[in-house]
Structure 1
Amino acid sequence: MMPERADRIARIVIDRYGTTFAAESGITLRDKPSPLWRLLVLTVLLSARIDATLAVRSARELSRAGWRTPQRMLETTWQERVDALGRGGYRRYDERTSTRLAELATDVRDEWGSDLRRLHDHGGDDAERLANLLQRFKGVGPTGATIFLREVQAVWPGLVPYADPIAADGAERLGLPRDPVALRGVANDDEFGRLVAGCVRAARSDAIVDDVTAAAHGVARRSGRAG
């Protein structure tokens, strides 16, 4: 693919489909304890075999209830957590997840002083090491670790370029490089996480691939006429 076409496709993907799960759930991601905790909660919700839309809605409900730190989560009752998850549509896994959220809050508080920046300090910018640390939390498996790392690279820039196999599949479907280092060449580092988010969506949607392809072709035709 010609570099200018790859740049066009990347721009379209970012602009149209580059909303991260964190942004969709209302998290303004920063390298601070509360947003990182909320991202971890979202990661646990997304790790279950449930529609991502319901996981995002449920994460919003938990935040709306004010449980934006491990301590605030631990001040809730099991039933309060079940009810909040139910309001988000997370009913199939609400009871088990309610228990898991309390366990997660306890682990983050006890092991990392309620501050996941300490986990980052411990793991550095080694994605494999960070993934192993994340998987110590109940409810975070390999899939969950990749979700967290995909999203958190926006505020842990030393992880850029991080792209898991699903993102690589989406990039390939869009005609972009599979290799994260090569993919980095078509986006600014501060937008790389959004490009990866769009690629993940494209991996699961023929409609997105068709839309991006048509839009890129239309831009190319207009550019040709202008020239």
Structure 2
Amino acid sequence: MEERTLVEGLRSAKVLSREIQESLPLQVSLTSIGIEVSEFSVTNIQPSPEATKALEAEAREEMLKQADNAIYSRRLASIQQEQQVKERELDTEQAVNAKQQMLEKQKLEAKREQQRQQFSIEQEKIAAQTQNEQERAQLVDLENSNNNARADANAYSIERTLKAYEVIDSERLKIMSQSGLAPEQLIAQAIENLTRGDNKVGSLNFSPELLQMLTKH
């Protein structure tokens, strides 16, 4: 009992009974007079008044301590719960921010893709316009070439006609003019002279207007 505290001693009646029961057969003072203890039990442990007061004070202190511990545990649990709530809220906020960032990134990528497509369409339009302008320029060049060719042909025809007049002597022109021939007939006579003699011409080009004028007579 001396090794135990007062509270342990009051609470260890069964343990104390067993320990005493086991130690009694070893007591020479009992065995020498023929006493054999078959059973031993501690029925009551009663503290002294001073010990009772000490126990009551210790019990009150223990109860206050347990109450403080309970309050601390509740506060700690509340703090932990609040911390968990904040952590969940933070996780939720981070998840929402991550989702928002992902959506913004997708919107930005979609906008970039739209801009790339629009740029590609604009490039195709520019290429088509450039090709149309090139084709239009080629057509203009071709038309100019055709106009130049027609102008050259008309100039050549006029030149040959004038040469036809040059090979006719002035006397014959005078006779032909006095004979009452029309200008078109005179031109026909002049062209006929180009096919005779040493200065005859192998071929002549007539403009549609000149040919129409000559075929009237």
Question: Given the two structures, how large is their TM-score scaled by the length of structure 2?
Answer: 0.21
Structure ID, larger Rg: 2
Higher relative contact order (CA 8 A, sep 6+): 1
- TM-score, length-scaled by structure 1: 0.21
